[in-house]
Amino acid sequence: MNDKLKAYFRTDHLPHIWCPGCGNGIVTAAIVRAIDDLGWSKDDTVFVSGIGCSSRAPGYLDFNTLHTTHGRALVFATGVKVARPDLNVIVITGDGDASAIGGNHLIHAARRNIDITTICFNNNIYGMTGGQYSPLSPTDSFASTAPYGNADRTFDLCRLVEAAGASYVARGTTYHVTPLTNMIRRGLEKKGFSFVEAMTACPVYFGRRNKLPTGVDLLNWQRDNAVPVSRAAKMEPEELAGKIVIGTFLDVEMPEYTETYERLLKEHAADRSGE
């Protein structure tokens, strides 16, 4: 880590708890690089996370940091943002955290288009609890609770968030770090709800059970299966099976929640003497 980026970490709380080969450090570094590019102040930025391996990232970052309950990061973040719209609010969440227990909050944060950037660390598995399948585990993949293969259909979280009303939606991988960093930066800059799904490696639980036992195997898996969104548009659904579509799915300007609320108050709650 170079000195410039070091300034964003709580170096006295490193080393981190993540396993060798885990991709979480790569995503965290990409977030920090994006913040550095934008020159955001540490004092004015709040990180909020849920529960899981990935949700431990804010503890290592020298910002205002809030490690909440499983699946609920977005609701705490919403409270922070509504009370202090001037602060930058970033949510870090795992694939299980965001899509299973926290799925409803994800829908509604996107629907409100509240100015929060959510980075979902997608390792296709519940890492923290030891490798159970998540809604983002591929069908047929193996997990501790899917010893005969996962019968669930896998979930495209980007499509969900797009349909729910977000302003920015993208997917990147830890193999393609520079585009991932750019996506995160774009998400941070965007006024409105932004969602970046970062494909990341859990060699210990996802990899080992699925014949990709090391971090490098999983990076190569990302490289070999990634399809840019422009190319994917020309491919048949059968060709896309098992592929990871990467790139920007949505980048639009839409009214943001806290601004809309302020506007309505100006228009309709003129009498502020109620105090």
| Interface residues toward ligand TPP, by CB under 6 A | 51-54, 70, 94-97, 121, 123, 125-129, 134
Cα–Cα nearest to 70, from 46, 98, 42, 45: 98
CB of 219 to other proteins, least distance (A): 29
Question: If you compute the radius of gyration of the chain from its CA atoms, what whole number of angstroms results?
Answer: 19
Reduce the DSSP state of residue 65 to 3 states and report it. strand
Which segment (15-23, 154-162, 188-196, 238-246) binds ligand SF4 by CB under 6 A?
15-23
Task: Name the binder of 97 from ligand TPP, other proteins, ligand SF4, none, CB < 5-8 A by kind.
Answer: ligand TPP
Q: Vertex 247, ends 242 and 248: CA angle to 5°?
A: 130
123 belongs to the binding site for ligand SF4 (CB under 6 A): yes
| Rounded Cα gap, residues 109 and 89, in angstroms | 12
Task: Name the binder of 76 from ligand TPP, ligand SF4, other proteins, none, CB < 5-8 A by kind.
Answer: other proteins
Percent helix, strand, coil in the chain (nearest 5)? 40, 20, 40
| Rounded Cα gap, residues 151 and 94, in angstroms | 21
Which segment (43-51, 173-181, 188-196, 202-210) binds ligand SF4 by CB under 6 A?
202-210
Binding test (CB under 6 A) with ligand SF4, winner from 58, 96, 102, 127:
127
CB of 99 to ligand TPP, least distance (A): 8
Secondary structure element (H or E) that encloses residue 24, with its range: helix 24-38
22 belongs to the binding site for ligand SF4 (CB under 6 A): yes
- AA letter at 251: D
Secondary structure element (H or E) that encloses residue 113, with its range: none
Q: Which single residue is written with the structure tokens 């490098």?
A: 216
CB of 53 to ligand SF4, least distance (A): 3
Our CB check for ligand TPP shows the closer of 122 and 182 to be 122
| Contact positions vs ligand SF4 (CB under 6 A) | 18-19, 22, 24, 53, 123, 127, 202-205
